[in-house]
């Protein structure tokens, strides 16, 4: 009997180790299937509302990214069994709602007149984004391996951020110089550049955290850094200003600097860095508003959106006000998918897709989407604070904060809480480069969550 007990213990231990991970992946599978079903129902409702019939062709095409996401789930079962079970389903349902609304805009009178087919492109980009996430999970066996490429990441990020300034690569007729074209492919290299910057910031700050956190003079109860330690934050500040000035990309500059300050605070725990960051951000935006008309115009449109002269002039508040009218038209419950007129707002499927979706699903639907974003951010922060190493903590926190800041900047701009900054809503808006970059962020968070302290219990 004693022999039987000894023999059975290893088997019991193996089962105890496997059960939590298996349970996590089963939870993920159930939520993923539900997310795919919600996306399919949204597309069907769009077709019934706009066409009065169901077109199986677009549903069949939408099955391609759904299959890719299921493959990603299978890969996680073997390559990262203790990964967070909620990141993938949340991203899937937001992405699916975005596809449904972009496809709906294709079916509007404006979309039909211009033969737009952005919905199909978004479906294909989603499949490519899922494939990219699979590659990240398989190639990055442990997130700490990324720390070896800290300065290579810096070089890659700078090249990607400045690539649109290279003659012959910049996409003509684009409002902001953030697009490049290589043959038939248009791409925003800054989207991937921001992720490379996060790798660099995390590696740099973890190695320099002692001097950044413990040295400096106290003033009014706050320890301020030495002048020599201000170098990194000033370099990133100048880089952000360069992006704003040279590429007319206010939102990208804000995201870069905001992500760095957030990661600096997580690495050091010093409130003085946040105060300095806010002061530098305010000074940078104020200075660029004095010399760059497009930045000043964003503030003018924000403060005086409903002035008749401003509404009618080129570059005025027409887009912003029409987005607000669309949200107001949707009311509490919305007009119903496929039954609004989101195409009346310029850039309805990209910058202002929140207004388009809000018109058709109403305040209740928008609140549900915001809750999904909030849940994604909360899972990212939970992964960051449960990470088993400082690099994982700083990296996960930085990527999560960048994601959250982008949501706030975009949705706040559409709803006139802050000036509009010309960014895309993560996972929701049309745009292949943004979609792929966000799936890369989700994959990195999944990889980090697989190695959290006490995994997988610490992530639930």
Instruction: Give me the DSSP letters along 223-247.
Output: EEPPTGGGHHHHHHHHHHHHHHHHH
Q: Quote the pLDDT of residue 211.
A: 66
Q: Quote the pLDDT of residue 229.
A: 58
The span from the CA of 321 to the CA of 332, in Å, is: 19
Which residue has better confidence, 113 or 325?
325
Closest CA to 193 of 437, 407, 444, 423: 437
Collapsing DSSP to helix, strand or coil, 116 comes out as coil
Give per-residue pLDDT as tens, 38-80. 999 999 999 999 999 998 999 999 999 999 999 999 999 999 9
282 within 8 A of 241, measured Cβ to Cβ? no
Q: How far is CA 20 from the centre of its chain?
A: 29
Q: Quote the pLDDT of residue 9.
A: 45
Average pLDDT over residues 14-22: 59
Q: How far is CA 141 from the centre of its chain?
A: 23
Give per-residue pLDDT as tens, 205-246. 888 776 666 655 665 555 556 555 566 667 777 777 777 777
Mean pLDDT lowest among 6-20, 144-158, 313-327: 6-20
Q: Quote the pLDDT of residue 221.
A: 54
Q: Quote the pLDDT of residue 218.
A: 61
Q: What is the pTM of this model?
A: 0.90
Give per-residue pLDDT as tens, 332-368. 999 999 999 998 999 899 889 999 999 999 999 999 9
Q: Quote the pLDDT of residue 182.
A: 73
2 pLDDT more than 60: no
17 pLDDT more than 50: no
Strands 180-182 vs 185-187: parallel, antiparallel or unpaired: antiparallel
For the chain, percent of residues with pLDDT exceeding 90: 49
Dihedral over alpha carbons 44, 47, 48, 53 (to 10 degrees): -100
4 pLDDT more than 90: no
355 within 8 A of 345, measured Cβ to Cβ? yes
Q: Indicate the pLDDT class of residue 114, thresholds 50, 70 and 90.
A: confident
81 pLDDT more than 50: yes
Rounded to 5°, the CA angle 167-169-174 comes to 105
Q: Indicate the pLDDT class of residue 120, thresholds 50, 70 and 90.
A: very high
The span from the CA of 79 to the CA of 327, in Å, is: 43
> Contacts for 227-234 with beta carbons within 8 Å, 24 or more apart?
230/276, 232/204, 232/208, 232/264, 233/260, 233/261, 233/264, 233/273, 233/276, 233/277, 233/280, 234/280
395 pLDDT more than 80: yes
Which residue has better confidence, 389 or 35?
35
Sign, Cα dihedral of 66, 72, 75, 76: negative
415 Cβ neighbours under 8 A, 6+ residues apart: 324, 327, 354
The span from the CA of 201 to the CA of 155, in Å, is: 12
Q: Indicate the pLDDT class of residue 459, thresholds 50, 70 and 90.
A: very low
For the chain, percent of residues with pLDDT exceeding 70: 87
The span from the CA of 437 to the CA of 132, in Å, is: 9
Give per-residue pLDDT as tens, 121-165. 999 999 999 999 999 999 998 899 999 998 898 888 888 888 887
> Contacts for 70-74 with beta carbons within 8 Å, 24 or more apart?
70/32, 71/130, 71/134, 72/130, 72/133, 72/134, 72/137, 73/25, 73/28, 73/29, 73/32
Per the DSSP assignment, residues forming a β-bridge with 223 are 218
Q: Quote the pLDDT of residue 172.
A: 65
Closest CA to 122 of 174, 177, 64: 64
Rounded to 5°, the CA angle 324-122-334 comes to 30
Residue 86, Cβ density class (10 Å: 0-12 exposed, 13-18 middle, ≥19 buried): buried
Average pLDDT over residues 427-440: 93
Q: Quote the pLDDT of residue 92.
A: 97
The span from the CA of 85 to the CA of 82, in Å, is: 8
The span from the CA of 167 to the CA of 187, in Å, is: 15
403 Cβ neighbours under 8 A, 6+ residues apart: 376, 377, 380, 426, 438, 441
Collapsing DSSP to helix, strand or coil, 392 comes out as helix
Q: Indicate the pLDDT class of residue 175, thresholds 50, 70 and 90.
A: low
Which residue has better confidence, 70 or 388?
70
Q: Where are the domains of the chain?
A: 19-139+292-460, 148-282
Average pLDDT over residues 426-445: 94
353 within 8 A of 413, measured Cβ to Cβ? no
Q: What is the mean pLDDT of the chain?
A: 85
Q: Quote the pLDDT of residue 220.
A: 52
Residue 115 backbone phi and psi in degrees, to 5: 55, 40
Q: Quote the pLDDT of residue 250.
A: 79
Q: Quote the pLDDT of residue 150.
A: 87
Q: Quote the pLDDT of residue 214.
A: 60
417 within 8 A of 424, measured Cβ to Cβ? no
């Amino acid at each position: 009997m004693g022999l039987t007990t000894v023999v059975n213990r290893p088997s019991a231990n193996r089962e105890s180790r496997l059960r939590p991970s298996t349970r996590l992946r089963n939870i993920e599978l159930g939520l993923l299937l539900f997310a795919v079903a919600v996306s399919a129902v949204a597309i069907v409702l769009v077709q019934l509302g706009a066409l009065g019939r169901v077109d199986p062709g677009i549903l069949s095409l939408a099955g391609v990214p759904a299959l890719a996401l299921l493959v990603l789930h299978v890969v996680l079962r073997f390559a990262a069994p203790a990964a967070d079970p909620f990141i993938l389903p949340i991203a899937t349902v937001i992405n699916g709602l975005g596809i449904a609304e972009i496809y709906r805009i294709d079916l509007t009178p404006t979309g039909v007149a211009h033969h737009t087919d952005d919905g199909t492109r978004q479906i294909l980009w989603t499949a490519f984004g899922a494939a990219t996430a699979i590659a990240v999970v398989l190639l990055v066996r442990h997130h700490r391996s990324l720390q070896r490429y800290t300065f290579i990441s810096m070089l890659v990020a700078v090249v990607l951020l400045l690539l649109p300034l290279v003659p012959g690569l910049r996409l003509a007729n684009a409002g902001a110089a953030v697009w490049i074209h290589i043959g038939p492919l248009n791409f925003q290299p800054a989207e991937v550049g921001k992720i490379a910057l996060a790798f660099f910031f995390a590696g740099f700050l973890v190695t320099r955290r002692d001097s950044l956190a413990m040295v400096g003079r106290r003033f009014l109860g706050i320890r301020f850094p030495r002048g020599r330690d201000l170098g990194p934050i000033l370099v990133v500040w100048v880089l952000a200003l360069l992006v704003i000035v040279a590429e007319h990309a206010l939102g990208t500059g804000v995201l870069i600097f905001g992500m760095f300050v957030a990661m600096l605070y997580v690495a050091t725990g010093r409130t003085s860095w946040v105060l300095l960051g806010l002061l530098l951000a305010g000074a940078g935006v104020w200075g660029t508003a004095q010399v760059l008309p497009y930045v000043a115009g964003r503030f003018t449109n924000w403060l005086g959106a409903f002035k008749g002269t401003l509404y009618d002039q080129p570059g005025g508040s027409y887009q912003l006000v029409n987005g607000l009218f669309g949200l107001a038209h949707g009311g509490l419950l919305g007009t119903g998918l496929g039954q609004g007129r989101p195409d009346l707002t310029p850039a309805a499927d990209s910058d202002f897709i929140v207004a388009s979706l809000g018109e058709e699903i109403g305040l209740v639907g928008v609140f549900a989407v915001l809750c999904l974003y909030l849940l994604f951010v909360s899972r990212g922060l939970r992964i960051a604070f449960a990470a088993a190493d400082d690099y994982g903590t700083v990296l996960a926190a930085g990527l999560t904060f960048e994601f959250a800041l982008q949501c706030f900047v975009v949705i706040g701009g559409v709803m006139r809480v802050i000036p509009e900054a010309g960014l895309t809503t993560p996972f929701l808006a049309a745009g292949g480069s943004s979609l792929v970059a966000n799936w890369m962020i989700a994959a990195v968070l999944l990889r980090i969550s697989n190695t959290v302290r006490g995994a997988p219990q610490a992530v639930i």
